[in-house]
Amino acid sequence: MEKSATLIKRAAININQLDSIKIGDFLADEYGKSGKVCDIEIINRKGECHYYFKLLKSGTILIIV
């Protein structure tokens, strides 16, 4: 059974939703990039949180909150 991708909309997402994403989850953004998460990096910088979700074969999705 294959899981469906979690859609990330940058304008409507909060930190709790981003923190619930784990390695192995399937993600998709509103620009069409999608894939399985193989690495997550969270950087706190100047009052912002940068979430980098590295996808298995599709690059990276960056969300700044």
CA 24 – CA 56 distance, rounded (Å): 9
Round the average pLDDT of the chain to a whole number and report it. 90
Chain centroid to CA 28:
8
Tokens 């989850």 correspond to: 25
The pLDDT of residue 1 is 44
DSSP per-residue string spanning 1-27: -PPPPEEE-GGG--HHHHHT--TT-EE
Query: Which residues in the chain come in under a pLDDT of 50?
Result: 1
Question: What is the pTM assigned to this prediction?
Answer: 0.86
The pLDDT of residue 55 is 96
Selected from 2.60.120, 1.10.287, 2.40.10, 3.40.50, the CATH number assigned to the domain covering 6-64 reads 2.40.10
The pLDDT of residue 2 is 57
CA 17 – CA 26 distance, rounded (Å): 14
Where exactly are the structural domains of the chain? 6-64
